[in-house]
Amino acid sequence: MLSPQSKIVSHINGIVVGPLDLLAANTLRVPCSTWNTFFVDTVEGLQSLLPEVRHQPLLVLGGGSNVILKPVFPGVALLMRIGGIDYLPIDDADVDSRQMLVKAGAGVVWDDLVSQTVKAGWSGLENLSLIPGTVGAAPIQNIGAYGVELDQVFHALEAVRISDGQVVRFSKEECGFGYRHSVFKEALKGQFIITSVTFRLTGAEFAQCNTRYAPLNQYLDDHSIHRVTPEQVRKAVCDIRSHKLPDPAKKPNVGSFFKNPVIDEACWQALHERFPSMVSYPQEAGQVKLAAGWLIDQAGWKGRVSGRVMVHDKQALVLVNHEAGSADDILSLAEEIKNDIRDKFGVTLEIEPQVYPQE
């Protein structure tokens, strides 16, 4: 369904495809029609496109692996395809020859960047191997996996301000990173389009690989790998992930559907008395992080089918669109799970992916 204002805008840099169903542009494979859709492949193209589109609702998409799209988005979709990976010497006062900056375009496939930097002998991104999506989306929720979060290797990013088309540089502090969080999800939500991200990586020969995450440590032990290199960490993470997580191409999903809830220690004590085997991780400032997957599994949801959608039979945290369901099918199942977890454990789960259009 398209708006009466629907039109195809021709443009020099942004390749225009006109109204398009975004079914193939999101990993949950739900249908979503827009008024117009543009592929954005240069910063200049984006800047000259903005005056035409900035007064309509904008949906910025990378790989569509962390969004839930309702059947109609009444506005313009921008599919980020800005490419390029450049290695830059460190330009600050404490020049460190063991480190290097790598700057990647927002549209670069995240795992291509990880693979390329590891192969080139740089360490820092290997634990984040095989996370779907693009470089530009990675800071939005401060992606994390296997004991590492993006902010640990983040240097800076560039983003175009939607209101005036200016390129603005953000330092790490200015991004306000937290657990699955950044300033772009709240205070600056919908105001900037990220065009590139720069990371600070360490030469593999000087790197201290992070292998503290239990399943990674176990894998390395099982394979008798003791002097660990970034390439070995990458291989280990890829192997574990490929066995553990459903491939969205075969079982449409958005990865972890709920964030791990963080509760205060007093609540945790009370819960722990009732459920001594409950999985939890102590945090700073008297807080404790619970494993949302454990809660959902304990509540008996693993493998449960609800019409065209279901809870994955091996990963309770992953909801799968197994029979061409819609955003509403997925969101109703999520609501049922949330209510049940609140009743059983008194814990409120929060959805991780972003829903569009936003209510």
Q: Which residues of this protein are in contact with ligand FAD, per CB under 6 A?
A: 27, 60-67, 80, 106, 131-134, 136-138, 140-141, 143-145, 193-194, 245, 248, 253-255, 354
**Which CB, 63 or 75, lies closer to ligand FAD?**
63
Choosing from 81, 180, 200, 234, the catalytic residue is 180
Taking the C-alpha atoms of residue 73 and residue 64, their distance in angstroms, rounded to an integer, is 14
Taking the C-alpha atoms of residue 271 and residue 20, their distance in angstroms, rounded to an integer, is 48
Query: What is the distance, to the nearest Å, from the Cα of residue 236 to the centroid of all Cα atoms in its chain?
Result: 20
**Which CB, 99 or 196, lies closer to ligand FAD?**
196
> What does the block give as tokens for 282?
């102590």
Quote the least distance from Cβ 4 to ligand FAD, whole Å. 26
Radius of gyration of the chain measured on its C-alpha atoms = 21
Taking the C-alpha atoms of residue 214 and residue 35, their distance in angstroms, rounded to an integer, is 47
Choosing from 129, 196, 256, 326, the catalytic residue is 256
Q: Does the active-site annotation cover 212?
A: no
Q: Does the active-site annotation cover 97?
A: no
214-222 and 230-244 helices, crossing angle to 10°: 110
**Which CB, 230 or 252, lies closer to ligand FAD?**
252
One-letter identity of residue 9: V
Taking the C-alpha atoms of residue 243 and residue 258, their distance in angstroms, rounded to an integer, is 20
Quote the least distance from Cβ 183 to ligand FAD, whole Å. 12
Taking the C-alpha atoms of residue 284 and residue 273, their distance in angstroms, rounded to an integer, is 21
**Which CB, 190 or 286, lies closer to ligand FAD?**
190
Q: Does the active-site annotation cover 158?
A: no
Nearest to 23 by CA among 37, 4, 40, 6: 37
**Which CB, 143 or 233, lies closer to ligand FAD?**
143
Quote the least distance from Cβ 137 to ligand FAD, whole Å. 3
Quote the least distance from Cβ 78 to ligand FAD, whole Å. 8
Quote the least distance from Cβ 334 to ligand FAD, whole Å. 15
> What does the block give as tokens for 17?
């495809």
Choosing from 52, 174, 265, 352, the catalytic residue is 352
Quote the least distance from Cβ 87 to ligand FAD, whole Å. 21
Q: Are strands 262-264 and 167-171 parallel, antiparallel or unpaired?
A: unpaired
User: Edge-to-edge, what's the strand order for the sheet holding 58-61?
Assistant: 15-16, 33-40, 72-80, 58-61
**Which CB, 92 or 359, lies closer to ligand FAD?**
359
Q: Are 136 and 143 in contact (CB under 8 A)?
A: no
**Which CB, 248 or 261, lies closer to ligand FAD?**
248
Which residue matches tokens 């807080």? Answer: 287
Quote the least distance from Cβ 182 to ligand FAD, whole Å. 10
Say whether the peptide bond before residue 357 is cis (omega within 30 degrees of 0): yes
Taking the C-alpha atoms of residue 178 and residue 211, their distance in angstroms, rounded to an integer, is 21
Q: Which residues are catalytic?
A: 180, 256, 352
